[in-house]
Amino acid sequence: MATILIIDDEESIRFSLKGILEDEGHEVMEAETGEDGLEALKSRVPQLLFLDIWLPGLDGLEVLERTRQSHPDLPVVMISGHGNIETAVTALKAGAFDFIEKPLSLEKVITSTRNALEMTRLAEENRVLKSRIMSTHPFQLTGESEPVIALREAIRQVAPTDAWVLITGENGTGKEIVARSLHLESRRADKPLVAVNCAAIPEELIEAELFGHEKGAFTGAETSKIGKFELAHMGTLLLDEIADMSLKTQAKILRILQEQRFEHVGGSKTIQVDVRVIAATNKDLLKEIEAGNFREDLYYRLKVFPLEVPPLRERTGDLALLIEDFVGLLCREHGFKPLTFSPDALAALACYPWPGNVRELKNFVERMQILFSGKTVYASQLPREFRGSVPIQPQSESRPCPENHQPCPAIPDGPIELKQARAEFETRFLVTKLKEFDNNVSQLAKAVGLERSSLYRKLKLYGIQTD
């Protein structure tokens, strides 16, 4: 059962339409004018709106426009006794789900209602699935560093198109997250995202895995099976580690990418598909081409829109945000009390090269969360490999800052890397300036030439409290 609002100035139309809808098991709300209908939407949001085009005061098209602004997901069926093609086209272009004429047809009303409610159900189901996907994935495309902001902007630009994307980057940087973001922000988001790890499938089976096979096509093929390309029809196919395909398979992939049709292994029937392809690799494909391991024509076919995911060592300014995400995820999943890292610990982590990238960071945070649940981790407590050659002051040697009673790392004697020195200077500078501006972050941001949001992130990174 759904709640449906009818806005029509003719009582007889409201009466007959209400009868049809109530017979279908729905609850019906009524409004005589556009103004009354908009007020009704403020108190209760229905699942469907029937809206007359010709109304006294605000006409139906104006009510439709305001409804689309306030409730963009609410399907609206326009009704009119003066229907014509031009009116219908205008209503549909303005965002109406459907258009029906008076006198109302019982069959048309029922069909339009069922279709609109089914669309609403599918849209809600899609939102829930997206939320589950994003919340259960190990990490998101988190960060405010310049490389990440640029990457997100590139994703925003290319995602709504059907352009094929080639994602490159080291292991553990988050190439699959980029691929998932491209899919979820595309027009194919309600269709499947099918991922294939080309490096994990044996050479003799990869064709059958991608294109499907008929029963008896090879030893062990006891039943027919559809392939990944078919499963991804109207959706997105992620070919991960594509550089690990053999040249033979690359040739077949190239033909399918060009023609969007293929046959099952052992079959003769041609299958047509509509698939957006995203490829990913951790290898330098130009070097692979020079070595004779990758087809040049396939490379240029895939490289319609290249995206490079930066390694973590080039975006260490995002460490605090990434750590916060991982800690939150671990606490939600396992009931931990959140841990925190002191400014000197964050400075030490920023000096570590992170060869395993974001994946290594996640594993590190999980280890530290298990060991220090609910506590603050200082640099002297970090595992040895994360301290490296950076001079670390013992926890007891940190001096309190009278300005806000936060521990300020002492400047160590001897060799010191630039990142650590900068972090220590910025900590002292911001603590002093905060006192000067009576903890007014807006005034401080203006004085030091930073956006307010950027300053907040920096204060959070260094563990500086503002209250």
pLDDT in tens, 385-411: 887 644 444 443 444 443 333 444 444
What's the pLDDT score for residue 394? 44
* Stated pTM of the model: 0.58
The per-residue pLDDT of the chain, averaged, comes to: 84
Q: Which of 461, 202, 154, 175 is nearest to 318 (CA)?
A: 461
| Other residues' Cβ atoms within 10 Å of the Cβ of residue 182 | 28
For residue 430, name the pLDDT band (cuts at 50, 70, 90).
confident
What's the pLDDT score for residue 190? 84
CA angle 115, 117, 119 (to 5 degrees): 70
For 33-92, where are the E strands, in sequence order? 48-52, 76-80
Three-state secondary-structure class, residue 72: coil
For residue 467, name the pLDDT band (cuts at 50, 70, 90).
low
Which secondary structure element, helix H or strand E, spans residue 237, and what is its range? strand 236-240
From the centroid of its chain, how far is CA 2?
30
* Tens-place pLDDT, residues 12-33: 999 999 999 999 999 999 999 9
Mean pLDDT of 423-443: 79
Please determine whether the domains at 3-129 and 314-461 fall in the same fold group of CATH: no
> Cβ distance 387 to 364 under 8 Å?
no
* Tens-place pLDDT, residues 196-212: 998 888 878 888 888 88
What's the pLDDT score for residue 395? 44
* Tens-place pLDDT, residues 319-337: 999 999 899 989 988 889 9
Q: Which CATH architecture has domain 314-461?
A: Orthogonal Bundle (1.10)
> Cβ distance 140 to 177 under 8 Å?
yes
What's the pLDDT score for residue 140? 61
- Of the two residues 433 and 132, the one the predictor is more confident about is 433
List Cβ neighbours of 335 (8 Å cut-off, separation of 6 or more). none
In CATH, what number does 139-310 get?
3.40.50.300
Q: Which CATH architecture has domain 3-129?
A: 3-Layer(aba) Sandwich (3.40)
The one-character DSSP state at 2 is -
What's the pLDDT score for residue 160? 94
List Cβ neighbours of 105 (8 Å cut-off, separation of 6 or more). none
> Cβ distance 18 to 30 under 8 Å?
yes
Helix %, strand %, coil % of the chain (to 5):
50, 15, 35
Please state the domain extents for the chain.
Answer: 3-129, 139-310, 314-461
* Tens-place pLDDT, residues 246-305: 898 898 888 888 888 888 888 888 888 899 999 999 999 999 999 999 999 999 999 999
Whether the ω angle into residue 103 lies within 30 degrees of 0, i.e. cis, is yes
